Amino acid sequence: MILASLLSIRSGAALLADPLVLAAIALGVGVGIVFGAIPGFSATMTIILLTPVTVPFNPAPALIFLVSAYGGAVYAGSIPSILINTPGAPGSVVTCWDGYELTKKGKAVYTLAVSAIVSSLAGICAAVVLLFLAPRIAEFALEFGPSQMFLFAVFALTIIPAAKGASLEKALLGGCFGLLVATVGNDPQLSQPRGTFGFTILRSGVDFIVVLIGLFVIAEMFQLAYRGVVVQDDTEIEGSFSQIKDAFRAVASRPVAFIRGMLIGTFVGSLPGAGADVANFVSYNEARRWADEELADKFGTGIIEGVIAGDSSNNATQGGALVPTLTLGIPGSGSTAALLGAISIHGLQPGPGLFDRSAALVYALILSLVIGNLLILVYGLPGAKYFGKLAYIPPKYIIPAVVVLSVIGGFAVRNSLFDLWFVLLFGVLGVVFVKYEYPLVSPVLGVILGGIAESGFVTGWLLNQGDPVEFFFGSYISIVLLALILLSVVITIVRR
């Protein structure tokens, strides 16, 4: 079996020797970075838009192009997070907290370089894990049934009380608001509309991308218009080359933070429906939870540990999310759901037999992640000194550009003008939240995890025939998750 795997890896590597395939990787990463850097323009939307372009091409270069664009878009979401406090994608939200604070201190190039380094390394490590352990990880991920996904969502919700710079009451209230927004739409059990106020489009719920654009992007543009600058004029701009050298030293001196984030990202990414949206919150919170008290208090004030925790987990989800997608035909995230559709369009059937039927192509896809993530360094490090200058552009140019791109991103989610009203509504709510010191992360977490928790609870309760003992203690994974929830709550209370 090991010999067969090695032969398949060799066949996959041979496919990558084709100049057209290598060009597809280079172009895919570049296009992904461009799309991913647009606020609210997620990797999912990038793949959906690019899939029709690949139809005339053979499966190998076409799918490798899409996988490379996926990796580039996931990384690039951190660029606007760091520069203007507007996440390019849901998986880049936590990068704002420390990345933007570092930018305001004149360390934009340094922070962008750290982001590129950890994103590249995490993506490569996750691809290597996928290369050798994909079937085993898939088997373990299958142990996470609806009950376990509910408990996992509850565990992730314990992050809310630890939201940076917030009182416990405000953090919990914001989280409850997010959970309330997540209930809008059809009931998962009875398919009855809830909170739709007669609007048909709301039967599918309030899209998370719309909430993200409003709360973070539009609200930040209001704040930027009020402040007048991204970086104060008297802030010293440090030399770009010295900052890139410092970035390598920063990552090398914090291996535990990087490895922890990478492992969390790979694992959470392999859980169907979780993905980077959840992984980076969990990774950031665990980094803060296990830091010593003095360092933990500095999270959110502009420390590089926060950027490493967020971006290492964010990019590691690339490999993790491909595990159930390729091995089981179950998408690990919204992005891989779009990729699953593209794979089917090109005549392949994802699932247990894919590694047997198209082994060379599958391993070529995985190996292309390694090359693509190396190219993130090639594009990201030289680009850091140019991206960093964006923080010094006057707001009168930044605000119109970002608002226009946000409107495009909000409309593109469902091709609906109705969603743009929600972008504006959540933008105003974001300003109110900031004014009264409610953490924006709380409602965002509530919206992300509300759907996962509700569907997991309803389905799990039905499968266990309403038996609470079986629901909460029916598997060793459930017991471990309950212990983690309890531990998380206790640590949070003690820290408070």
What is the average per-residue pLDDT within 342-368?
Answer: 78
Q: How confident is the model at residue 391 (pLDDT cuts 50, 70, 90)?
A: low
pLDDT above 70 covers what percent of the chain? Answer: 86
Checking if the pLDDT of 23 tops 90, the result is yes
Mean pLDDT of the chain: 81
Six token digits for residue 428:
């105003």
Checking if the pLDDT of 244 tops 70, the result is yes
Q: How confident is the model at residue 468 (pLDDT cuts 50, 70, 90)?
A: confident
Q: Beta-strand (E) ranges in 189-322?
A: 193-194
DSSP code of 1? Answer: -
Q: How confident is the model at residue 162 (pLDDT cuts 50, 70, 90)?
A: low
Beta bridge partners of 186: 193
Look at the chain and report how many structural domains it folds into: 1
For the segment 263-295, what is each residue's pLDDT rounded down to a tens digit? Answer: 998 888 777 666 666 788 888 888 887 788 778
Beta bridge partners of 194: 185
Q: Where are the alpha helices (DSSP H) in 331-417?
A: 334-345, 354-357, 359-387, 395-414
Checking if the pLDDT of 205 tops 90, the result is no
Checking if the pLDDT of 28 tops 80, the result is yes
Please report the pLDDT score of residue 373 as a whole number.
92
Q: How confident is the model at residue 234 (pLDDT cuts 50, 70, 90)?
A: very low
Contact 400, 217 (CB under 8 A): no
Name the residue among 17, 44, 57, 122 with its Cα closest to residue 364.
17
List all residues 6 or more positions away from 404 whose beta carbon is below 8 Å from its beta carbon: none
Checking if the pLDDT of 218 tops 70, the result is yes
Contact 215, 443 (CB under 8 A): yes
Q: How confident is the model at residue 358 (pLDDT cuts 50, 70, 90)?
A: confident
Range(s) of the domain holding residue 310: 2-495
Q: How confident is the model at residue 235 (pLDDT cuts 50, 70, 90)?
A: very low
What is the average per-residue pLDDT within 2-21?
Answer: 75
Please report the pLDDT score of residue 139 as a whole number.
67
Name the residue among 414, 409, 49, 45 with its Cα closest to residue 203.
414
DSSP code of 217? Answer: I
What is the average per-residue pLDDT within 415-438?
Answer: 86
Q: Give the torsion sign (CA, 191, 43, 351, 124).
A: negative
What is the average per-residue pLDDT within 402-406?
Answer: 81
Helix (H, G, I), strand (E, B) or coil at 140: helix
Cα 1 to Cα 135, 141, 254, distances in angstroms: 12, 22, 37
- How many other β-carbons are positioned within 10 Å of the β-carbon of residue 374? 15
Over its C-alpha atoms, the chain yields an Rg (Å, rounded) of 22
List all residues 6 or more positions away from 256 whose beta carbon is below 8 Å from its beta carbon: none
Please report the pLDDT score of residue 276 as a whole number.
64
Please report the pLDDT score of residue 138 as a whole number.
62
Residue owning tokens 């996440």: 87
Q: Comparing 230 with 67, which gets the higher pLDDT?
A: 67
Contact 265, 279 (CB under 8 A): yes
Contact 109, 228 (CB under 8 A): no
| Measured distance CA(401)–CA(412) in Å, rounded | 17
pTM attached to this predicted model: 0.78
Please report the pLDDT score of residue 5 as a whole number.
62
What is the average per-residue pLDDT within 379-402?
Answer: 78
List all residues 6 or more positions away from 331 whose beta carbon is below 8 Å from its beta carbon: 272, 321, 324, 325, 337, 339, 340
Contact 4, 47 (CB under 8 A): no
Checking if the pLDDT of 418 tops 80, the result is yes
Q: How confident is the model at residue 239 (pLDDT cuts 50, 70, 90)?
A: low
